Structure 1
Amino acid sequence: MPENSTAQTSPIAIIGAGPAGLFAAECLSRKGHEVHLFDYMARPGRKFLMAGRSGLNLTHDEPLEQFLQRYGDARDWLEPAIRHFPPEALRQWAEGLGEPCFTGSSGRVFLKSFKASPLLRRWLTRLQEQGVQFFPRHRLTDMQGLSLTFQTPEGPVHRTARAVILAPGGGSWARLGSDGRWTSLLKEHCTPFAPSNCGFMPDWPEDFLLRHEGATLRGITLSFAGQTHRGDLIITKRGLEGAPLYALSAPLRQALAQSDGKAVTVHLNLRPTLERDRIMDRLARQRIRESRSNRLRKALGMDRTMRELLVQLCPDARTADELTQAMTQAPLHLAAPAELDRAISTAGGLKRDSVDETFMLRHQPGLFACGEMLDWDAPTGGYLLQGCFSTAHCCAEGVHHWLSRSLPGKMTP
C-alpha cells in the first residue's frame, strides 16, 4: 500500500517503460503519487526481456569501491545514486518480488530462474496494484515545459503533468524500443550516441569472415590500454563479438575516434593458460618437416579457425619462438566499432551538466531524466542495469521532494 497520500491536480508522467521508467514509477506510486507511464511500444520492458534471454544479470557482487570504478569518468556523477540504492538493495528488491538470486563464479548476480519474464510479470502486477496507469503506443513528439504531445494510433494526444521523468533509453536496438529519437526534443543538451559493449570490425578479408562465420575463439584474452580481459570471441560476417571486446569497447572507441581513420591494435593471446616456455617447448618437440598447421594442431590442439587466424595475423611466424610470440601476443587490428543499433548499450545522450544532483534538467524545473539516456558508460556484468535502477531511484526521490517543496504545508518525508 502507498506510504503517503499526496494531494494532486494532475499525474506524474514517465516516458519509457524500460527498467528505469518502471522503477521510477514504482518508487513514486509507493509514495502515493498518481503515475502515468507512457511508451511507444505495445508492451513494457521489451529490451529488458531481451537482456534476460541468456540469464538476467541483475548486478555484480564485488566491493562497492571496486564496483564504482567500473563507471570510469562518470563515477563521481553516479556514485551518490548508487550508494543510495546499491547492488544489495537491487538484489533485495528482486527477491522481494519472489525472484531469488545467486552469485556466479565471476561475481555476477543472476536470477535463479535465469529468466526476466517471471520477474517482469510480477513487477507489472505490483505496479498495477499501486495504481500505475500504462499508456502503450504513445510516442512523445513534443514538450512545452511540462505539457506533452504524443503520437498514437488514434492521432495526437496532449497531456499536462505535475512532473515529468524521461526514461526512453539509449540509441541501440530500436526494434525493442530504444531508438534515440527523443534527442530531437533536447538537441542542445545531448551528446551524440556512440556504440558501447559492442563488437568491432577487424581489417580482415571478407572471405575470411564468411568462411569462419559462427566460429568461437574460446578462452582467449585481449589486451589494450593496460587492460586485459578473458572470454570467448565469436566471428560473424560483421566482425568480432564477445565479452573481452565489450569490456574494452570504451577505450577502443575513444582510440578509434582519435586515430584519423587508422585501425587500432589490440593484442590477442590464444592460449592464456599456458606459460610461454611451455608453449615453446611443445612446439619445439614437433618434427621440423611438419607443416606449421600440423605443428599447431598436434602441439597445442588448435582448431582450423585458430590456425588460419594465426596465418592471417602473423603470416611470417615459423620458428617455435616466432609462433609462441604470435600465439601469446598476436596483433589484432580493429578498424571500426559495430553499428550503433546492434550495440548492447550506448554512450552519449543527455549531458551531465544539463541536470542537477537529482537528475532534474536545469533549464526546466519539474523535468527529470534517468537511465541509459544519460551520458554515462559502463561495461556488461550487471553495471548497466544497476546504473538504470539507481538513477531511477534517485530521480524518483528528486521528483517527490521537488513536488513536496512546491506545495507549502504538504511536506512529506
Structure 2
Amino acid sequence: MIAEPCCDSVIPHVAIIGAGPSALIAAEVLAGAGCRVSLFERMASPARKFLIAGRGGLNLTHSEVRAPFLARYGEAADWLAPMLDAFPPARLRDWAEGLGEPTFVGSSGRVFPRSFKASPLLRAWLARLDGLGVTLNRNHLWHGWSDAGALRFATPTGELEVAADAVLLALGGASWPRLGSDGGWVEILHGQGVEIAPLRPANSGARVGWSEPFRTRFAGVPLKRIALSLGPRRVRGEAMIDTAGLEGGAVYALSAALRDAIAVAGRATLLVDLRPDMREAALAARLAATRKGETLANRLRKAAGLSPVAAGLLREAGPLPGEPAALAARIKAVPLNVTEMAGLERAISTAGGITRAMVDDRLMLRARPGVFVAGEMLDWEAPTGGYLLQASFATGHAAAWGVLAHLGMPLPAPWAGKWEAGETAAPAAEETRDDG
C-alpha cells in the first residue's frame, strides 16, 4: 500500500508518472502548494506528443461558451463539468499568458499561442517547474508496485524503487505509442482490480479501399470546402486523401460515430458533399447548361467547379450518371464505403480508459487509495479543436487538488473567473492542425 500521508513537520512527496500536459499542470499545482514533486517519464524528453501536436500551430483550447463546449464530451460531459469549471478555457489562456505566451482566437474559434508554436510554451513551463523544485526523471519506465508498496521503475542503470506519500498517474492513452503512451499501464491496473474500458482509436482516419490509380495520383492531396455526413450528422470542413483513406478535421469529427457504426455493421457509408455551398437544383441547372459535345471532365471542372481530386473522388464511387439531376445528386452525396478506422498507432487520441466508477470525486482510485489518475487514462473522449488539451489540463488540475485534500494540505484559492467566448480574429498564420 502507499504510505500514509506524512505528518505536518515533513514535506510530503508526490510521485507523478508521466510528463504530458496533465502531469505537468498537476506538478505545478502541487509544487506551488508546498509538496516535493518528482516526475517520472519513460521517454528521454517530456511532453513529446504535446510538441508534435504543435508542429503546425498549437491548438490549446476553444472559444465556445460553456454549454456547447461541454457537449463536446458526450456522455462524460457531466463528469468533466466540475473539473472544466475549475479550470476553464479562460484560465488556460491566462496561464499561457503568464508563461509569456499570449493567445488569440482564430477564425475557426480555436485558441492558439500567438507564437503559433508549442516549444516556447513548453520551455517556459519546464523552467517554471524547475524553479518550483520539481525534479524530472527521464527514461524511467513504470512497472507497478513492489510488495512493500513502493513504485517500481526500470531505468538505464537498473531497477529502482521509489516511496511516495501520494501518486498521480498521467500516462496518457495508447495513441501515437512511439511518443510514449502505449497503454502499458492497462495490465498493471487490471491486476489491481481496476475496471478499464477497452482503449480504442479516437479522432482517427477512415479507411477506404481506393483504386490504385486514384491512390497513386491523389495521396497527400487535400479535399477543400466539403461536407461529410453519416446518418443525421453533417460536418463541414476539409479532409486529406492518404494511401489508405481519409484523414483530417472533418473526418475526426465523425470518427466516433464511424467507429461505432463499423463495430455494429462491419462497415459504414460516409457521404461526401463536394459542393456544400450550392443547392442541388442549382448545380443540376449548371450541369444541364453545358455546351453540346463538351467532355464530362470539362463539365465537372467548369459547370460543377470540381478540382481534379474532387472529380477523381466522384469517379471512385462508380460509373457517373449522364443526366444532370442525377449527376448533381451524386456530387452532393458521394458514397464512400468505410471498412475500418485507422488504428491507435495513427489516431490522435484514445477512447476508453479507467471507468468513472473506479475513481472517487477527487480522481483517486478506489482500489488503490493514495493513487490518483488524470488525462487520457480516464474514460472520456472529445473531438479535436482544443477540447482534448483543455480536458487534459482540467483533469490534471483536479487530480492535483485531490492529492492535496488527501494529504490534508491547504488548497489553493479557487478560480474566480468565468467562461468567456473571447475575441475572434484572423489567425496569425495558417491554421493547419487540429490536434488539441
Fold-level similarity (TM above 0.5): yes
Q: Which amino acid letter does the alignment assign opposite residue 186 of structure 1? A: L
- Are 2:371 and 1:367 aligned? yes
Structure 1 residues 158, 214: CA separation in 2 closer, same or farther (over 3 Å shift)? same
Pairwise CA distance, 1:226? 2.1
**Aligned residue for 1:218?**
224
Q: Output the CA distance in 1 between the equivalents of 2:91 and 2:166.
A: 26
Distance 1:62 1:321 in 2: 39
How many Å separate the matches in 2 of 1:228 and 1:154? 54
C-alpha displacement at 1:116, in angstroms?
0.5
CA contact under 8 A between 1:349 and 1:374: conserved in structure 2? Answer: yes
Provide the residue aligned with 1:69 in structure 2. 71
**Letter of the aligned partner of 1:281 in structure 2?**
A
Q: Does 1:159 pair with 2:173?
A: no
Q: What residue is the counterpart of 1:195 in the other structure?
A: 201
Alignment of 1:308-347 (within 5 A): 308-347=312-351
What's the TM-score once normalised by structure 1's chain length? 0.94
Structure 1: which 5+ residue stretches go unaligned? 405-409
Residue 213 of structure 1: how far off its partner (Å): 1.0
**Aligned-partner residue type, residue 94 of structure 2:** Q
> 1:185: which partner in 2?
188
Q: How does 1:246-325 map to 2 (within 5 A)?
A: 246-259=252-265, 261=266, 263-325=267-329
The one-letter code sitting in structure 1 at the alignment partner of 2:235 is H
Structure with the larger RCO, 1 or 2 (CA within 8 Å, 6+ apart) = 2
Is the Cα contact below 8 Å between 2:210 and 2:244 reproduced in 1? no
- The correspondence for 2:34, drawn from 32, 47, 67, is 32
Match of 2:120 in 1: 118
Name whichever of 306-315 and 243-252 sits farther off: 306-315
CA offset digits 1:198-225 (Å, max 9, x no partner) = 1011133344323321121111110113
Map 1:101-112 to 2 at 5 A.
101-112=103-114
AA of the residue aligned to 1:238: A
Return the offset for 1:129.
0.5
8 A Cα contact 2:401 2:411, kept in partner: no
Paired with 1:317 and 1:233, the residues of 2 have a C-alpha distance of 25
Q: Is residue 352 from structure 1 mapped to residue 319 from structure 2 by the alignment? A: no
Q: 2:45 matched to 1:43? A: yes
3-state SS, counterpart of residue 385 of structure 2: coil
Contact in 2 for aligned 1:163/1:366 (Cα 8 Å)? yes
Q: What is the letter of the counterpart of residue 117 of structure 1?
A: S
Aligned residues: 402
Distance in 2, Cα, partners of 1:316 & 1:136: 58
Q: What secondary structure, in the 3-state scheme, does the structure 2 residue paired with 1:55 have?
A: coil
In the aligned structure 2, how far is the partner of 1:394 from the partner of 1:183?
22
Tell me by how many angstroms 1:84 deviates: 1.1
1:179/1:350 Cα in 2 relative to 1: closer, same or farther (>3 Å)? same
1:65 alignment partner AA: A
Kept after mapping to 1: 8 A contact 2:16/2:39? yes
Please point out which of 388, 392, 402 is paired with 2:392.
388
Residue of structure 2 in register with 1:237 after alignment:
243
The change in CA–CA distance for 1:27 and 1:48 in structure 2 (over 3 A counts) is: same
1:284 to partner: Cα distance:
0.8
* Amino acid aligned to 1:16: G
Give the deviation of 1:312 after TM superposition.
1.6
SS in 2 for 1:8: coil
Q: TM-score, normalization: structure 2?
A: 0.89
Matched-pair contact (CA < 8 Å) for 2:144–2:152: yes
CA-CA distance at 1:19 after TM superposition: 0.4
Q: In structure 2, what is the equivalent of residue 174 of structure 1? A: 177
Q: 1:139 aligns with which of 126, 138, 141?
A: 141
Secondary structure in structure 2 of the residue aligned to 1:258? helix
Secondary structure at the counterpart of residue 134 of structure 1: strand
Paired letter, 2:196: C
Residue identity opposite 2:159 in structure 1: P
1:105-142 Cα shifts (integer Å, max 9, x gaps): 11101100000000000000000100101110000012
Partner of 2:17: 15
- CA change 1:265–1:79 in 2 (3 A) is same
Residue 81 of structure 1, aligned match among 80, 83, 86: 83
Distance 1:411 1:230, change over 3 A: closer
Deviation digits for residues 372-410 of structure 1 (CA, Å, limit 9, x no counterpart) = 111111000000000000001110000001110xxxxx6
Contact 1:35 1:131 (C-alpha < 8 Å) held by counterparts: yes
CA distance in 1, matches of 2:176, 2:344: 8
Provide the secondary structure at the position in 2 that maps to 1:340.
coil
Q: Is the 8 A contact 2:404 2:410 kept in 1?
A: no
Question: Can you list the C-alpha shifts for 1:269-307, whole angstroms capped at 9, x where unaligned?
Answer: 001111222211211111243232221112123232222
Aligned identity (percent) is 49
Task: Please tell me whether the aligned partners of residues 271 and 334 of structure 2 are also in contact (alpha carbons under 8 angstroms).
Answer: yes
Check 1:309–1:411 CA distance in 2 against 1; reply closer, same or farther (3 A cut): closer
2:162 partner letter? R
CA distance in 2, matches of 1:91, 1:6: 34
**In 2 relative to 1, CA 7–257 (structure 1 residues): closer, same or farther, beyond 3 Å?**
farther
Q: 1:287/1:214 Cα in 2 relative to 1: closer, same or farther (>3 Å)? A: same
Within 2, Cα distance between the matches of 1:400 and 1:12? 10
Equivalent in the alignment of 1:407:
none
- Indicate conservation of the 8 Å contact 1:146/1:161, yes or no: no
Shift of 1:10: 5.2
